[in-house]
Amino acid sequence: MIKPETDHDIENVEAWAEIIADILHHVPPAKRTQVLALASKYEEIEAQKRKANHGKLTYVDMSKWDAIPPARNNTITRLQSLLIQVFVRDIINNHSPENARDILFVEHPHGTGSRLLEDYLPARK
C-alpha cells in the first residue's frame, strides 16, 4: 500500500528542490533564471503579507482574477496541464500499474478539498 505524504515530507527542502528542478527542466534553458527570479520575487511579496498578517490566512479577492488577461489565464492553464501530464506519465512509466494507481489516487493529508484525485476527474461515460 502506498502511503501519502507526511509532515516530514512536506518539510523536506531537498525533495522540493528536486521537484522544482524537474519543473524547470521543461522551461526553455534561456528563461530558467528569469523564471526563478520572478518566482522568488512573488514569494518575497507573499512572505511580507504573511508577516503582516502574523501567518494568518487572508481573504483572496477573486474579482482580481477577472483583471488578468484571458490569454495569460489560458497560458497558465496549458502549462499546468503540461506539467500534470509529464508528472503522471513519469509515475506511470516508472511504477507497476498497481503502484502507479495507488500513488496517483492516494488520499493526500496536505491536499485541498476531498484530497482524492478521483474526485477531481470528470465522470466516466
pLDDT tens digit string along 26-48? Answer: 999 999 999 999 999 999 998 99
Domain membership flag for residue 1: no
Average pLDDT over residues 83-104: 94
Domain membership flag for residue 116: yes
Domain membership flag for residue 101: yes
Domain membership flag for residue 98: yes
Taking 70 as the threshold, does the pLDDT of residue 65 lie above it?
no
Q: Which is higher by pLDDT, 44 or 59?
A: 44
Total domains in the fold of the chain: 1
Domain membership flag for residue 51: yes
Taking 70 as the threshold, does the pLDDT of residue 97 lie above it?
yes
Model-level pTM?
A: 0.74
* 3-state DSSP assignment of residue 67: helix
Model confidence band, residue 115 (pLDDT cutoffs 50, 70, 90): low
Model confidence band, residue 73 (pLDDT cutoffs 50, 70, 90): confident
Can you list the alpha helix ranges (DSSP code H) found in 1-125? Answer: 7-10, 13-24, 32-52, 70-93, 97-105
Domain membership flag for residue 36: yes
DSSP 8-state symbol, 118: G
Judge whether 19 and 31 are in contact, CB under 8 Å.
no
